[in-house]
């Protein structure tokens, strides 16, 4: 904390995020709410290609949360030092001045805290050199012993070996490099802090299969009307947990998308 600055606590950050998330959730289901923000963020940074997939978890990972089921997101857009700062700024957005943005829901990438307690990211080749190769955002992190209680994973680093494991998962989706986000789906075991401390949001998509079923089966209808409004993205792929493509969208070929959509639906039914 700066000598003359205001006190900044993890507890207040979490309360602010929780309040914003619950307000937004009244208007949108959590899954499509999150995915539209991820798509919009990729479009805003000039991405031409975006892949979104499920992972069953990294059993060999050193960080405990990486062993849980997760959503993996990769794009080929630019990631600046300003973007890195924006991710870590609670309640702020680098695109606040752009009121025309399709995904301007007020809290941007922070919507992912509807499904996770922390998230990890790797920079891609189109990144400022000042950006670290891999980082994580843990809202619970604090040096103040009087702030929130710690969990078993708060002190764990995002080590290079774990970054390599995520890169391997990315490669299975045909993306050898790119800005990469990893969102461990919240499980009750992630939230053991004692003293009646609640998680950011009391939803546990990592426990059970309901969230994964929704991811695999409901995205086609939800995203159809949203994708043609994007400015930069030309290709979007969505993968299931076995790295099978369940949706492919090609911008400016909407009729072809509809044909593919029907063929995919026939396979799912």
Instruction: Tell me the per-residue pLDDT of 8-49, one tens digit each, with 9 for 90 and over.
Output: 788 888 988 888 887 765 545 567 778 888 888 888 888 888
Pairing of strands 179-184, 118-122: antiparallel
**pLDDT (tens digit per residue) in 62-71:** 999 999 999 9
Are 63 and 153 in contact, with CB atoms under 8 Å apart?
Answer: yes
pLDDT computed for residue 215 by the predictor: 73
Domain assignment of residue 231, yes or no: no
The residue with tokens 């990729």 is: 42
Domain assignment of residue 217, yes or no: no
The Cα–Cα gap between 200 and 194 comes to 14
pLDDT computed for residue 244 by the predictor: 66
Which of 32, 46, 69, 24 lies closest to 186 in space, CA to CA?
Answer: 69
Domain assignment of residue 264, yes or no: no
Are 76 and 47 in contact, with CB atoms under 8 Å apart?
Answer: yes
Domain assignment of residue 233, yes or no: no
Domain assignment of residue 222, yes or no: no
Note down the domain range covering 122.
10-208
Residue-wise pLDDT tens for the chain (269 aa)? 455 666 778 888 898 888 888 776 554 556 777 888 888 888 888 888 899 888 989 999 999 999 999 999 999 988 877 887 878 777 544 444 443 333 333 357 788 998 999 999 988 777 766 677 789 999 999 888 889 888 989 999 999 999 999 999 999 888 888 899 999 999 999 998 876 788 999 889 999 877 777 776 666 566 666 777 888 888 888 887 666 666 666 655 444 444 344 334 333 33
Beta bridge partners of 54: 71
Q: Is the pTM of this model over 0.75?
A: yes
Structural domains counted in the chain: 1
Which of 87, 102, 89, 126 lies closest to 44 in space, CA to CA?
Answer: 102
Domain assignment of residue 68, yes or no: yes
Domain assignment of residue 64, yes or no: yes
Domain assignment of residue 253, yes or no: no
For the chain, the straight-line distance linking the first and the last C-alpha, in angstroms and rounded, comes to 56
């Amino acid at each position: 904390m700066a000598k003359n600055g205001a006190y900044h606590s993890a507890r207040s950050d979490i309360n602010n995020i929780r309040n914003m998330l619950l307000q937004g959730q009244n208007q949108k289901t959590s899954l499509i709410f999150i995915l539209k923000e991820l798509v919009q963020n990729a479009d805003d940074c000039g991405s031409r290609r975006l892949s979104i997939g499920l992972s069953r978890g990294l059993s060999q990972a050193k960080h405990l949360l990486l062993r849980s089921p997760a959503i993996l997101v990769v794009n080929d857009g630019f990631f600046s030092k300003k973007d890195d700062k924006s991710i870590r700024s609670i309640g702020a957005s680098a695109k606040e001045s752009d009121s025309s943005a399709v995904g301007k829901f007020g809290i941007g990438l922070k919507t992912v805290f509807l499904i996770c307690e922390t998230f990890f990211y790797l920079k891609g080749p189109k990144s400022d050199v000042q950006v670290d190769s891999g980082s994580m955002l843990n809202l619970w992190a604090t040096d103040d012993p009087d702030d929130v209680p710690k969990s078993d994973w708060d002190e764990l680093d995002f080590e290079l070996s774990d970054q390599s494991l995520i890169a391997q998962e990315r490669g299975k989706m045909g993306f050898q490099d790119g800005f990469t986000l990893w969102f461990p789906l919240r499980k009750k075991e992630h939230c053991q802090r004692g003293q009646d401390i609640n998680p950011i949001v009391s939803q546990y998509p990592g426990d059970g299969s309901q969230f994964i079923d929704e991811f695999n089966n409901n995205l086609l209808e939800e995203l159809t009307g949203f994708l043609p409004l994007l400015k930069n993205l030309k290709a979007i792929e969505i993968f299931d947990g076995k790295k099978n493509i369940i949706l492919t969208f090609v911008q400016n070929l909407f009729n072809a998308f509809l044909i593919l959509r029907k063929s995919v639906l026939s396979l799912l039914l």
